[in-house]
């Protein structure tokens, strides 16, 4: 009787996959600082320490901090009197620290300094008598926080090219624009071009509001998209900068781009037949999740890693004085 020999599945040659790994990717200086603030507060004051909203937009980070004693709340009325409360990296409206003071809560601000810079710009323009146009996404915590630096009605929100075409500010000759820090660089440039055409005297930020981390991660994903058949972005659906990375990859011509929370979301079916996968992570996604995706790929493919480095980052923000000792 003829014997058929088949190679056991575990020893069968795996298909080859080159992972083009974006650099920079993942945590930015503002996210790193916000997480350190929660950890430092926990060790300095003991658990529980309350955090208003997700400190950064990533469930893995939030759950890791919960395990250490952080308690995440939606609003300040959920925080017991006398407790410590931390405000998230996205920034808060002025009414929030005011309410914390009124309630006798010890509050610590984890707002990213680059978001605070946008707040100061808004206040400066308002004090100079300019109307303010904020380019951003309605409902995002950063937008709520920035609009909340000024009285209701002082800031007009523009979300799209269509908004920019139809907005009717009170005094078109005295205007300034500011932007959310995590927008698409290219989409924002197109919106700004419309605003400049319609309002030639509009004041611009002294330095770009879209932050270095957002800009660099978008540059890196474009470099991936030019060479990869598919791009996977590790991040959360409520993370603006992560969602922008998916969009930028698609706009750069990548056939398939997807957001995954981690290895468990990998779209294996869609990757079938591809041999070059671009991999990156949003600014609030920890590196451990990227490494888990790589390990999951290794289980299915013979993986080669190629680093695609577009720039080096060397940005660090100090902790608030009350925690830095």
# residues near ligand SF4 by CB under 6 A: 15
Instruction: Please provide the distance, in angstroms rounded to a whole number, between the alpha carbons at the two ends of the chain.
Output: 80
Q: Which of 121, 142, 264, 287 is catalytic?
A: 142
Instruction: Indicate the residue among 22 and 283 with the shorter CB distance to ligand SF4.
Output: 283
On the 0-12 / 13-18 / 19+ scale of CB atoms within 10 A, 250 is middle
C-alpha 20, offset from chain centre: 21
Question: Does 31 sit near ligand SF4 (CB under 6 A)?
Answer: yes
User: Is residue 142 annotated as a catalytic residue, yes or no?
Assistant: yes
Residue 28 CB, shortest distance to ligand SF4, in Å, is: 3
Instruction: Indicate the residue among 105 and 259 with the shorter CB distance to ligand SF4.
Output: 259
Q: Residue 78 carries which DSSP code?
A: G
Question: Does 28 sit near ligand SF4 (CB under 6 A)?
Answer: yes
What's the token pair of residue 188?
């924002």
Instruction: Indicate the residue among 18 and 218 with the shorter CB distance to ligand SF4.
Output: 218
User: What contacts 289, CB < 8 A, 6 or more positions away?
Assistant: 60, 234, 261, 262, 263, 281
Question: Does 114 sit near ligand SF4 (CB under 6 A)?
Answer: yes
Question: Does 188 sit near ligand SF4 (CB under 6 A)?
Answer: no
Per CB under 6 A, the list member of 211, 277, 281, 297 interacting with ligand SF4 is 211
On the 0-12 / 13-18 / 19+ scale of CB atoms within 10 A, 246 is buried
Question: Does 29 sit near ligand SF4 (CB under 6 A)?
Answer: yes
Instruction: Enumerate the H helices of 103-182 as residue ranges.
Output: 113-127, 141-147, 161-166
Spatial distance between the Cα atoms of 320 and 110, rounded to a whole number of angstroms = 8
Residue 127 CB, shortest distance to ligand SF4, in Å, is: 23
Instruction: Indicate the residue among 18 and 88 with the shorter CB distance to ligand SF4.
Output: 88
What residues are labeled active site?
Answer: 142
Residues that bind ligand SF4 (CB under 6 A): 28-31, 89, 112, 114-115, 181-182, 211, 213-214, 241, 283
């Amino acid at each position: 009787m003829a014997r058929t020999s088949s190679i056991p599945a575990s020893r069968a040659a795996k298909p080859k996959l080159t992972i083009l790994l974006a650099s920079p990717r993942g945590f930015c200086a503002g996210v790193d600082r916000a997480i350190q603030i929660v950890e430092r507060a926990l060790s300095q004051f003991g658990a529980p320490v309350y955090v208003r909203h997700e400190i950064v937009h990533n469930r893995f980070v939030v759950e890791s901090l919960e395990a250490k004693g952080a308690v995440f709340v939606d609003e300040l009325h959920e925080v017991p009197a006398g407790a410590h409360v931390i405000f998230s990296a996205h920034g808060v409206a002025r009414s929030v620290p005011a309410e914390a003071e009124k309630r006798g809560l010890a509050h610590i601000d984890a707002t990213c300094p680059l978001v605070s810079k946008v707040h100061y710009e808004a206040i400066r323009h308002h004090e100079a008598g300019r109307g303010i146009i904020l380019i951003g996404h309605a409902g995002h915590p950063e937008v709520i926080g920035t609009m909340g630096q000024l009285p209701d009605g002082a800031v007009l929100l523009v979300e799209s090219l269509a908004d920019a075409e139809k907005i009717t500010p009170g005094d078109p000759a005295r205007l300034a624009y500011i932007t959310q820090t995590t927008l698409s660089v290219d989409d924002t440039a197109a919106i700004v071009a419309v605003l400049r055409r319609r309002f030639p005297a509009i004041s611009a930020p002294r330095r770009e509001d879209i932050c270095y981390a957002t800009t660099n991660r978008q540059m890196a994903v474009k470099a991936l998209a030019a060479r990869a058949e598919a791009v996977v972005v590790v991040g959360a659906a409520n993370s603006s900068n992560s969602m922008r990375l998916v969009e930028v990859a698609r706009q750069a011509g990548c056939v398939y781009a997807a957001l995954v929370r981690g290895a468990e979301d990998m779209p294996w079916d869609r990757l079938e037949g591809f041999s070059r996968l671009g991999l990156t992570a949003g600014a609030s996604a920890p590196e451990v999740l990227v490494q888990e995706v790589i390990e999951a790929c290794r289980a299915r493919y013979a993986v080669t890693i190629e680093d695609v480095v577009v720039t080096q980052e060397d940005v660090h923000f100090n902790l608030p004085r009350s925690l830095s000792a």
